[in-house]
Every structure is written in structure tokens, then in C-alpha cells.
């Protein structure tokens, strides 16, 4: 090795030693445990925290200027006082698992006078979600009993199916309430649990529909009487409205059979009476009724069976039409309303149930106003 090369190596070694000595004479941040695993935590238990120990391995006081987290769910807290050489400080990290089910990994960046850039810590774990608890409101009432609804709508059901629906109850009084269910059609099985609700207790009414027992297609409606008896034997009677559309089971149809199926084409899905005549109006009424009509045409290749054309609104009267339409045939249905039965406005639905596999239930909206 030449003298010139030795001289260069000595200079480089001197620079390195000087740099190391200078670094050691400054503040130095060190954390032995840079990653903490919370493991499995329950969302329902709320925030969890861990304290990291920060050591100053340098020769001058360590000042932490700021600490940031990669997520708003992670909150850092640290001492703002300088950490003397050789001493330790604490950094508390709080993680809030609310609304964050599943695995998580968050980073924390420490900025100080002891390191260039940031010093990175990590927390991780797995949040076990809280069990779903539906929150019910109870805007309806029968006597002092609160209900979340007074209507059960089964939508569509096939002849071989049995479907159960429930209505949630609340006794919002300071006394027990007894709930008694009345009689309803044999295709329905009803029950209430518990039959006597203690103050503040919740319960439910269960209604099971056996479509096979109906023995026909189309829309069916029923009214379930409900009696509520208080401790002083005061009885209030109300009812729950039930409706269902029983349709054919089209699941077994082949593609060829569907291609040959009937098709129900409606002339419109909105019937607007507009402003109804008032007493003394010069607009004539037929039998005291305002009337409008709509058509159903079978544009398919086999007969269209119209099982029912009904409305749950008793103010509407539907007449005319036919129950079977051959391909290309049209039936006209009339919809009437008595203006005196409409106080301010009317917004109702007509349900058409048929054997069109691509649309067994059709809805027509009916509107009117005074």
C-alpha cells in the first residue's frame, strides 16, 4: 500500500469517527419495541391503548416536536418536556376500533431533534365486530302499546311457500300490558310473545302465511285484530293490515317455455285524476264518481291469466276487464273514486297479479287532489 493511499484512508477514517462522535454528542431517539400487536380486540369494548417507551441515547436533551398517525382512529399523546440524555419518556397511542372491523395496521411517525426525518412505530391487530342489533322506532300504537309498524306486506310468495313476518312491540308504560290476537283466515298462523309485556319490555307479533292454504293466485288481504288490555282492565282494540301477492312458480320453466309465455302490456303505470270536482262543480260526475281507465294487452304467445286487479285503498273502485286474455287481446279496466271521500289528496297503488313470468306483479299509481 502506497503512502498516498494510506493517507487517504486515514483521512476518511477520521471523518467517519468525527461524524459518529458528533452524532453521539447530539440527542438520539430510540424505541426498543417498534411494533405492538393488540391481538384480537372487541369493537364493543371501545378504544384500546399502548405506551411506547422512548429512550434518549444521545448526549443532549431530546425534544419531540410532533407525532402524527396514519389514521384519525389513532391518537398519540406524549410529554412535551425534553428528555434528558440517557433518560426515557412515554408515547401513549390510543386506537378506536369503532366502525373498523377486521385486521388493522397503523403507523405513527415521531419527529424530533434527534433524528433526520421521522422515526416510525407500528400498531396492529384485529377488530372483532359487534353483533348487529337492529334499532327500532315505534311510531304506531294500539292503546298504550307501541308498534314499529301496523302493516305486514309479504310482497310475492309462491303456492308451495311458507313465509314468516314479525312486528316489534314495546310497552312504554309503567304497568303491564296484555296483548290478545283475534281471529284471522286459516292460511295465517299468528302468535305474540310475550303475551304480557312488563314495563319497558319489548316483544313481537309473528304472522306466518301458508300460501298453499290459500288455494288461489292473486293478491290477498286480511286484517288481524289486536286487543291491548292494561292492568285496570281497560281494553283498546286495533288491527294489523296484511297483504300478499301469490304468484306462479316460474322457476321450472325452460327457455323455450318462457319464449312462448304470455306478456302483460299496460297502457300506463300512472293514472292521474287531477283536481277532483267539488260540490257545485259544473264538471259532471257519473253516479257521484270520477272515473278513469287503463288497458292490459297480451302481447305474448299464450293466454294471459289476470288473477287479480285490486287496491288496498278502499276509496278506489275497480271494475271491468277480463280474467283471461288470448294473444293479442286487450281488456279495459275502470277506476273510480268518490270525490267526497278524498279530503285533500289521494296517492294509491293498484296491484295487478298475472301469469307473465317476466312481470307477475305490476303496480299502477293513482293520484288525485282537491
Q: Give the DSSP per-residue string, 8-49.
A: HHHHHHHHHHHHHHHHHHS--EE-S--EEEEEEEEGGG--EE
Q: Which helix (H) or strand (E) holds 121?
A: strand 119-128
Residue with cell 388493522: 104
pLDDT above 90 (res 136) = no
Q: What is the pLDDT of residues 203-221, one digit of tens each?
A: 999 999 999 999 999 999 9
Beta bridge partners of 64: 112
Q: Which pLDDT band, with edges at 50, 70 and 90, does 232 fall under?
A: confident
Measure the CA–CA gap between 352 and 245, rounded to whole angstroms: 9
Three-class SS state of 276? coil
Q: Which range, of 144-153, 241-250, 270-279, 342-351, averages the lowest pLDDT?
A: 270-279
Q: Which helix (H) or strand (E) holds 105?
A: strand 102-112
3-state helix, strand, coil in the chain (%, to 5): 10, 50, 40
260-369, which class in CATH?
mainly beta
Residue with cell 306483479: 361
Per the CATH hierarchy, to which homologous superfamily does domain 140-246 belong?
Immunoglobulins (2.60.40.10)
Which of the pair, 236 or 21, is modelled with greater confidence? 236
Per the CATH hierarchy, to which homologous superfamily does domain 26-128 belong?
Immunoglobulins (2.60.40.10)
> Is 225:176 a contact under the CB 8 Å cutoff?
no
Q: Which pLDDT band, with edges at 50, 70 and 90, does 14 fall under?
A: very low
Residue with cell 279530503: 343
Which of the pair, 100 or 355, is modelled with greater confidence? 355
Q: Which range, of 192-196, 276-280, 314-318, averages the lowest pLDDT?
A: 276-280
Measure the CA–CA gap between 250 and 366, rounded to whole angstroms: 29
Q: What is the pLDDT of residues 251-280, one digit of tens each?
A: 889 999 999 999 999 999 999 999 988 765
- What pLDDT, on the 0 to 100 scale, is given for residue 116? 77
- What residue spans in the chain does CATH classification 2.60.40.10 cover? 26-128, 140-246, 260-369
Amino acid at each position: 500500500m502506497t503512502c498516498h493511499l494510506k493517507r487517504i484512508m486515514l483521512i476518511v477514517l477520521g471523518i467517519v469517527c468525527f461524524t459518529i462522535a458528533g452524532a453521539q454528542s447530539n440527542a438520539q431517539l430510540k424505541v426498543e419495541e417498534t411494533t405492538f400487536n393488540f391481538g384480537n380486540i372487541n369493537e364493543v369494548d371501545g378504544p384500546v391503548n399502548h405506551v411506547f417507551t422512548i429512550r434518549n441515547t444521545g448526549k443532549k436533551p431530546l425534544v419531540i416536536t410532533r407525532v402524527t398517525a396514519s389514521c384519525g382512529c389513532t391518537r398519540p399523546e406524549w410529554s412535551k418536556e425534553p428528555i434528558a440524555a440517557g433518560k426515557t419518556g412515554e408515547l401513549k397511542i390510543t386506537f378506536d376500533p369503532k366502525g373498523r372491523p377486521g385486521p388493522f395496521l397503523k403507523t405513527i411517525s415521531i419527529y424530533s431533534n434527534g433524528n433526520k426525518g421521522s422515526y416510525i412505530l407500528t400498531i396492529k391487530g384485529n377488530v372483532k365486530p359487534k353483533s348487529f342489533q337492529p334499532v327500532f322506532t315505534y311510531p304506531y300504537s294500539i292503546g298504550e302499546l307501541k308498534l314499529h309498524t301496523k302493516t305486514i306486506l309479504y310482497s310475492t310468495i309462491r303456492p308451495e311457500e311458507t313465509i314468516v313476518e314479525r312486528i316489534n312491540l314495546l310497552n312504554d308504560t309503567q304497568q303491564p300490558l296484555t296483548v290478545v290476537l283475534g281471529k284471522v283466515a286459516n292460511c295465517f298462523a299468528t302468535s305474540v310473545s310475550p303475551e304480557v309485556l312488563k314495563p319497558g319490555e319489548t316483544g313481537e307479533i309473528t304472522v306466518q302465511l301458508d300460501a298453499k292454504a290459500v288455494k288461489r293466485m292473486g293478491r290477498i288481504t286480511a286484517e288481524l285484530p289486536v286487543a291491548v288490555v292494561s292492568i285496570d282492565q281497560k281494553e283498546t282494540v286495533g288491527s294489523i293490515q296484511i297483504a300478499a301477492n301469490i304468484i306462479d312458480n316460474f322457476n321450472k320453466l325452460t327457455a323455450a317455455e318462457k319464449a312462448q309465455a304470455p306478456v302483460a302490456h299496460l297502457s300506463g303505470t300512472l293514472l292521474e285524476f287531477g283536481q277532483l270536482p267539488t260540490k257545485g262543480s259544473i264538471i259532471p260526475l257519473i253516479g257521484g264518481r270520477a272515473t278513469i281507465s287503463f288497458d292490459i294487452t297480451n302481447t305474448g304467445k299464450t293466454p294471459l291469466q289476470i288473477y287479480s286487479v285490486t287496491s288496498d285503498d278502499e276509496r278506489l273502485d275497480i271494475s271491468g276487464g277480463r280474467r283471461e286474455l288470448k294473444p293479442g287481446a286487450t281488456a279495459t279496466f275502470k277506476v273510480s273514486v268518490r270525490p267526497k271521500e278524498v279530503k285533500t289528496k289521494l296517492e294509491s297503488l293498484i296491484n295487478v297479479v298475472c301469469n307473465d313470468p317476466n312481470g307477475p306483479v305490476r303496480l299502477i299509481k293513482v293520484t288525485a287532489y282537491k
